[in-house]
Structure 1
């Protein structure tokens, strides 16, 4: 049954108090002090955003435009709303959306009504919630038509004072305004705004809805533990991994989507955030180790499955993606350094996916160690370029019997990236089978060995050896090696340590042209028989 534009169910509160001028968010026990409170309405943001009157009109003291637009409609700024205002027209940027959903009348009539909610912003410190009521088709159409980042014009919305009952606001995003707006299917309009000043609102999407220093680090969340269970807090972190979207059906038959996102910051390498419903679409443009998030009012719970604290979105949550703050710039720089550091032997397969290696038998160019090192320097900023060669040298480091190193590791069977101790494979390949969120991702045991090769010109230290090359050299699989006792491992080591070896090496530049890193990987490694007569450059040693 469609709603007939009656607002009988709304409990109006007639108050003459002015909108509160300071930070009024809920204080979580142990949260950080609010050093940068929002004022009621400002004309400037420290990032340089300048408030403008809409359609070129200037604002009068009563909050309306002196000059109406071409249709004769007068717009009001959010911060100029008063208790004397009944119906208004506002232009603003959508910074959050929730719904559509349905509720039943509080009067017990059994009437079902449908709604979709938006949070509009027209100033760095002024934003307000608007609820659009109507039939199911109306709510669905609005939800499909409008998204976060759209500039819209609201016409004829009813102004309502916020309820003094805190429980009435616990399912809505926090706003500094003392009012909220209501729009009906047959009363008022919500349209896209295409005025000349529409672009002025775009920068508002990068201004956090809370003070930029009001957040928990991921380490703080884990340290507080159960003290934060079911609390709403702010998180400031870097996107590390976006899992594939999953479609679920609830017990009531409702279809819903979710996506799990792995976050990190300078204090914690992995923390899970789950996004539900409308929030899922926001992740389409999120990039690992590049996208910075300020997530206001995410819900924290303890997860038995993860044996720790996790976060999820709900109707109060508001995301600011890549906020225009100093803190975000610092975290972004941290992400760039992390991206460079992860291009090590654990992610060599990523480089291989970019550059297809030639057949090992076709690599015949003989190199001295000093020549390999020169190539490393030449490829520092090569953005993924590679060079290949053959090195004849002594195996000067082959510590496969060490107790303090993981010679064998569990890796994704498709991308060969390490699987975490909790059984989760954080793979960068979007189509990787290890991306499936399951307790037992497809994985295999493989060697994780580094060696040093030395000739008369120098040493190549800590070179990662391809797992297949180690299997061929030792003539045993990773699982067989893991099951062997220490004495057998030691015997295997001394069969090759300080022996003359032939190594086929790949010298790779990082995929990031700014990282200044290069890597040496041993693609094949074999022992040279003593009876073989060495020729060429190796005979000089």
Structure 2
């Protein structure tokens, strides 16, 4: 089974595979039927053109009913819905169901994305290269055609869980995706391209009813997502079926692997944005290690960007004496027994992207409850906070929010965050002044820090269970000379 985003329900089995209870229990409007005919369901991998089949599979994606005019009936409006079915880890296929308006609307209301269905009397046809441009990518050279003589029902067989587990596996390799930083850095060179993204949900915007130029009624909303490299990125959703699913996604908990999302440059925002199209397949809480890492980072973000502050009392750096290489630190993290670990790394900052125009490196936090201010609100958004009222509002705390990576001769430690005091010492400015620096000045400061030798004081805080349950904060970076570094290594060799 795939993980549902609640890692307390996850266990590591003896065979090393991760499993979890899937909490999704869909409401069915159509009575479930099984084995309408005696034919054994076919499997997608073995399909042959020109035959009529039965098939069981989980719905990866589907669209809303639409009307079209075909070559065979140029004067008669026909209705259809498209869906993508999967019956195994490696095989999935596109299908189109044709019929009268009332029938197609009835079918559309009877099932949704993520449900396991059984179809009967589906014709296997060669995939049309033109039509496939507007459908999700499929490894099958065929497509399924269903008509009023076909049937589709909810499947309740004993092997239903096998199909459900497939819905939590991306249709592309787990490592085949862009980070949001990659998208922003590539900028307009990606304009119009379809890419894969692995992101966490931040916030679902207002759902709006839109009338197109042709009079078609549609819904639109913008989903805010993030990853370890970018705090906020826009994903535009047009398809009502996806929007209905998005309403159930939980901020800072739901992780999405998005296949073939279109990237465009938005002139109004002067930045990149993504849009889900008819080719897009969204895998919710994918059962891959990369998604589990991002889930824990999202939880970290909820702490780091929500209720925790930097005012936790840390010891003076003179009291921190344990020295680690990055490799030693990574190895010790897997068996960390204490809640907090302090230490020193003799190394350098290997990632310090403070001159990016598409990131926010300064944030405002409520002086009373420590909640982060929303970008669109000048006051605390926590309704239980005394500062939420205009009459009691105190000046917010301004602080740095800068991600970085630390390296030495053994390895690189990514996903670190600089404390405000550490950032101030590196940038020689405070968070109030930093946004007003020119890009050239920020670039200059960046290269004054990158790859310089530092004595790096860090704090690791344990935050739960899983593959990456830590918050890594850089407390201070003190420049060191070659002689200091040589003396350190000589002491290590003694």
Fold shared per TM-score above 0.5: yes
Q: How far apart, in 1, do the equivalents of 2:159 and 2:379 lie?
A: 43
Q: How far apart, in 2, do the equivalents of 1:46 and 1:310 lie?
A: 38
Q: Is the 8 A contact 1:115 1:134 kept in 2?
A: yes
| DSSP 3-state at the match of 1:271 | strand
RMSD: 4.3
Match of 1:237 in 2: 199
Q: CA 1:87–1:255 in 2, change beyond 3 Å: closer, same or farther?
A: same
Match of 2:156 in 1: 194
| DSSP 3-state at the match of 2:306 | coil
Structure number with greater Rg is 1
Q: Is the 8 A contact 1:409 1:447 kept in 2?
A: no
Q: Is the 8 A contact 1:235 1:295 kept in 2?
A: yes
Count of residues paired in the alignment:
331
Q: How far apart, in 2, do the equivalents of 1:179 and 1:46 lie?
A: 36
Structure 1 residue 425: Cα displacement: 8.1
Q: Is the 8 A contact 1:241 1:426 kept in 2?
A: no
Q: CA 1:298–1:430 in 2, change beyond 3 Å: closer, same or farther?
A: farther
Alignment pair present for 1:302 and 2:268? no
* Paired residues for 1:124-523 under 5 Å: 124-163=89-128, 166-184=129-147, 186-276=148-238, 277-344=240-307, 417-420=372-375, 423=376, 447-449=395-397
Q: How far apart, in 2, do the equivalents of 1:417 and 1:142 lie?
A: 45
Q: How far apart, in 2, do the equivalents of 1:215 and 1:407 lie?
A: 28
Q: How far apart, in 2, do the equivalents of 1:46 and 1:255 lie?
A: 49
Structure 1 residue 305: Cα displacement: 2.4
TM-score normalised by the chain length of structure 2? 0.58
Q: How far apart, in 2, do the equivalents of 1:273 and 1:307 lie?
A: 15
Corresponding residue to 1:76 among 42, 49, 53: 42
Q: Is the 8 A contact 2:305 2:372 kept in 1?
A: no
Q: Is the 8 A contact 1:301 1:311 kept in 2?
A: yes
Q: CA 1:189–1:47 in 2, change beyond 3 Å: closer, same or farther?
A: farther
| DSSP 3-state at the match of 2:40 | coil
Q: CA 1:428–1:213 in 2, change beyond 3 Å: closer, same or farther?
A: farther
Deviations along 1:88-125, one digit per CA (max 9) or x if unpaired, are: 11011111111211111235732211100111110011
| DSSP 3-state at the match of 2:163 | helix
Q: Is the 8 A contact 1:88 1:158 kept in 2?
A: yes
Q: How far apart, in 2, do the equivalents of 1:219 and 1:133 lie?
A: 42
Deviations along 1:146-178, one digit per CA (max 9) or x if unpaired, are: 101111111010110112xx4321110111111
Deviations along 1:235-290, one digit per CA (max 9) or x if unpaired, are: 11111222232222223332222221111111111110011122101112211111
Match of 2:67 in 1: 102
Q: Which runs of 4+ in 1 moved over 4 A?
A: 45-49, 344-348, 406-411, 423-431, 512-517
Q: How far apart, in 2, do the equivalents of 1:246 and 1:339 lie?
A: 28
Q: How far apart, in 2, do the equivalents of 1:430 and 1:136 lie?
A: 47
| DSSP 3-state at the match of 1:158 | strand
Deviations along 1:275-333, one digit per CA (max 9) or x if unpaired, are: 11221011122111111110001111111222111011111110101111111111112
Match of 1:93 in 2: 58
Q: CA 1:227–1:408 in 2, change beyond 3 Å: closer, same or farther?
A: closer
Q: How far apart, in 1, do the equivalents of 2:248 and 2:115 lie?
A: 16
